[in-house]
Amino acid sequence: MARDAIVAEELTYRYGELTAVDHISFNVAESEILGFLGPNGAGKTTTFKMLTGQLKPKGGQARLLGMDVMKNVEKVQGEIGVCFETTNLYEQMSALENLNLFARLFGMRSFDGNALLERVGLPGRGKDRVETYSKGMKQRLMVARAILNRPRVLFLDEPTAGLDPTSSETIRNIILEERERGATVFLTTHDMLEADKLSDRVAFMNQGEIVALDTPHQLKQQHGKRALKAKVAGDDGGLEDREITLDTPETPEAVRKLFSQEKVITIHSEEATLEDIFISLTGRGLV
Amino acid sequence: MNWRIIGTLVAKDFSLFFRNKLFAALTAIAFIFYIVVYFVMPSTVNENLEIGLYSPVTLPVFTGMQEEGLEVETVASEEALKEGVIEGKYVAGVSLPADMMEKLASQQKPTVSLYFTPDVPQEMKDTVALIIRELAYLQTGQPLNIEVTEEILGPDMTGTPIPPRDRLRPLLAIMILMVEMMGLANLLSEELERGTVHALLVTPMSIKELFIAKGITGTGLAFGQSVLFMLLVGGFGGGPLIILIALLLGAVLVTGVAFLISSVSKDFMSVLAWSIPAFIILMVPSFSILFPGAITNWIKILPSYYLVDIVHRVANFGSGWGDVWLNLLILLGFCLVITWLGIFFLRRRVR
């Protein structure tokens, strides 16, 4: 059984009167990808900051790799990689200079920046100043910086937000490669499809609390409904829609009737999305 | 404390500082400009003796006295006379008493008051007193029987006369420190606004190491340039070690101010907006060297007064440890307080 890489126990943070994170508890196993979802202001970034040692919790405890984050902050930070939501690179420096700077801060004696740039899809651009890069290139460089120390826990805050499909795909592949290497990934995102595709489990956060935490499949099973959607020939020669809810006692009879009594033109099954589930749990959207 | 991390950050900051074209150019231009200004200023002292005279009675010998090397200008009041001396218009001010003639006639000693700027040499004071006695003799035809009192307007700095360029030296040195203050404040402000500081703080680097690195960068930039300037203008003559220590403390002081400025600035324009008042306030004491009589006690609340005073007295008058130790101590105190405040507020902003 995999050990826990991240453990949050009753983690709490308040900004004055406002409780941004309210006694949340969860754990993330080694080599697991946890998708951390929630609308703006839900407390995701505050949680992210407490787990990475940037904010001291007002209550509860965060442990990474068995260490109390606040008591061993520098040791913990030596084992993690962090990719921020907003670009925070040294723009007047080249990509290689950026990477070499952080490699030195992590105390890495041998480091091949060019190989890393090639891995994130930026071959041959190492000597160019970052200010000349496009948004997608900068984001790929941010991911490269986050993984350069081969972190045991990788924190990614909206790594593909606003990116073109190619850049997004490159970053998703890197996340999966890092997981394969053995890294635990804490992924904050608004992108439901991305979370569904990448995450082993997802946590829904709303108003400072975790309202659901499970695998995407289980969440859909528990909170969503599956349906068959069909288009049948209508009496006037046009097409009419039919929908049959799956997983109910009436489903077999309804399916039999559909095929015996109607002329089915197209039929497909449809699952609830994570966004549907989030809305059903919280009564609000993700943005 | 991880010195490898600190060294890495300092190297990065120096590299970034000189990649900022504006500040790199400003640093170079300002440095060259100050050197040029120094060498353009006269290196000799005006040998003409310009004396202001306040005489409530008509004494033709006094008022009409104009000889080679001596210029006497009559003023309307004693206050105007003092003002002229303070502003450096006259080397000395002579105030004759209203009852001078009566006292001379009755064999009493009239009292003539002499006013001097703080750095007038003793020889000059003696000369002026001698001239007054000589004029009194010419006026009355009798052996001199007057009493001369001297008053120094500001601290007495008896010694050799100071050429204008050397008076300017502390001002130029402090201006160099100020330019670096703005440069460091901008560097810090950019680091905060672009969020790069957060990227640094999720590495094994501690916030203490971050501040030490920034402190070394700021102090190094300011100290290095002010030392180079003083070397080029021959400012280490009086007591090199004292001046080095004073410049080092000055560099720490402007680093502390830069921390404070960056804790409230959001971009280059706000750095500029906060730096200019700081620049002006910290430069005020330098003008007291240019206009010596202008020193009043309030100026001593400005930390830069102690830096300017040490540099001026040591470089221009050869003062030693015994003369400036208290100023060094006060300057150190200001450095500690301002740097602590800078770190306190900047740390809050970083967090």
A54 to B206: CB separation less than 8 angstroms, yes or no: no
Instruction: Please give the structure tokens belonging to residue B189.
Output: 């402000």
> In this structure, which amino acid lies at residue B57?
V
Report residue B149: phi and psi, to 5°. Answer: -110, 145
Strand order in the sheet with B147-152: B70-75, B49-54, B92-95, B111-116, B147-152
B204 to A92: CB separation less than 8 angstroms, yes or no: no
Can you give the pLDDT at residue B12?
92
Whole-angstrom distance between the N-terminal and C-terminal Cα of chain A?
36
Write down how long chain B is.
Answer: 351
Report residue A9: phi and psi, to 5°. Answer: -125, 115
Nearest to B295 by CA among B285, B308, B307, B310: B285
Can you give the pLDDT at residue B87?
78
A106 to B5: CB separation less than 8 angstroms, yes or no: no
Can you give the pLDDT at residue B159?
46
A77 to B19: CB separation less than 8 angstroms, yes or no: no
Q: What is the pLDDT of residues A43-90, one digit of tens each?
A: 888 999 999 999 999 999 999 999 999 999 989 999 999 999 889 999
Q: Which residue's structure tokens are 């499970």?
A: A214
If phi > 0 it is left, if psi is from -120 to 50 it is alpha, else beta; for residue A270 that is beta
Which residue on chain B is closest to A56 by alpha carbon? B351
Beta strands in chain A (DSSP E): 4-15, 18-29, 33-37, 59-64, 67-68, 80-83, 153-157, 184-189, 201-206, 209-214, 227-233, 239-245, 264-270
The structural domains of chain B, ordered by start, are 3-42+162-350 (no CATH), 49-152 (3.40.1710.10)
Which residue on chain A is closest to B15 by alpha carbon? A93
CA A31 to chain CA mean position, Å: 14
Helix (H) or strand (E) holding B116: strand B111-116
Inter-CA distances, A81 with B203, B237, B243, Å: 8, 54, 47
Q: Compute the Cα dihedral for A80, A86, A88, A91 and give only its sign.
A: positive
Q: What ipTM did this prediction achieve? A: 0.83
Measured between CB atoms, which of B16, B202, B204 is closest to A90? B16
The residues, ordered by sequence, that sit 6+ positions from A126 with a Cβ below 8 Å of its Cβ are A94, A95, A96, A113, A114, A117
Chain A residues near residue B5 by CB distance under 8 angstroms = 104-105
pTM: 0.74
Partners of residue B148 on adjacent β-strands: B112
Which residue on chain B is closest to A145 by alpha carbon? B199
A52 Cβ under 8 Å from any chain B Cβ = yes
Q: How far is B336 from chain A (nearest CA, A)?
A: 27
Can you give the pLDDT at residue B69?
62
| Per-residue pLDDT tens digits of chain B, which is 351 residues long | 889 999 999 999 988 888 877 777 877 887 888 788 777 776 666 656 778 888 887 766 665 565 556 777 888 888 888 888 877 778 788 888 888 777 777 777 778 888 887 666 666 777 777 777 777 777 666 665 666 666 666 554 544 566 777 777 888 888 888 888 888 898 889 889 889 999 999 999 988 999 999 999 999 989 998 999 888 888 777 788 999 999 999 999 999 999 999 999 888 889 889 988 988 888 888 877 776 655 567 788 899 889 988 888 888 878 888 888 999 999 999 999 999 999 999 988 887
Measured between CB atoms, which of A77, A91, A105 is closest to B8? A105
A111 Cβ under 8 Å from any chain B Cβ = no
Can you give the pLDDT at residue B125?
76
Q: How far is A183 from chain B (nearest CA, A)?
A: 17
Q: Which residue's structure tokens are 């073109």?
A: A164
Partners of residue A63 on adjacent β-strands: A7, A68
If you ran DSSP here, which 8-state letter would residue B239 be given? -
Q: How far is A188 from chain B (nearest CA, A)?
A: 17
B4 to A54: CB separation less than 8 angstroms, yes or no: no
Instruction: Give which of A90, A96, A98, A148 to mutate to test B binding, by max B Cβ within 10 Å.
Output: A90
Q: What is the CB neighbour count within 10 angstroms for residue B143?
A: 8
Nearest to A40 by CA among A87, A80, A85: A85
Can you give the pLDDT at residue B61?
64
Contact A89, A128 (CB under 8 A): no
Measured between CB atoms, which of B20, B195, B204 is closest to A106? B204
Chain B residues near residue A102 by CB distance under 8 angstroms = 199, 203
B205 to A90: CB separation less than 8 angstroms, yes or no: no
Q: How far is A135 from chain B (nearest CA, A)?
A: 15
Can you give the pLDDT at residue B349?
85
Chain A residues near residue B24 by CB distance under 8 angstroms = none
Which residue on chain B is closest to A103 by alpha carbon? B203
- Concatenating the DSSP letter of every residue in A222-238 gives HH---EEEEEEE-TTSS
Q: Which residue's structure tokens are 């003092």?
A: B82
Q: How far apart are CA A37 and CA A278, in angstroms?
A: 9
Low-confidence stretches of chain A (pLDDT beneath 70): 1-2, 284-287
Partners of residue A155 on adjacent β-strands: A82, A186
User: What residues of chain B have any CB closer than 8 angstroms to a CB in chain A?
Assistant: 4-5, 8-9, 12, 15-16, 19-20, 194-196, 198-206, 351
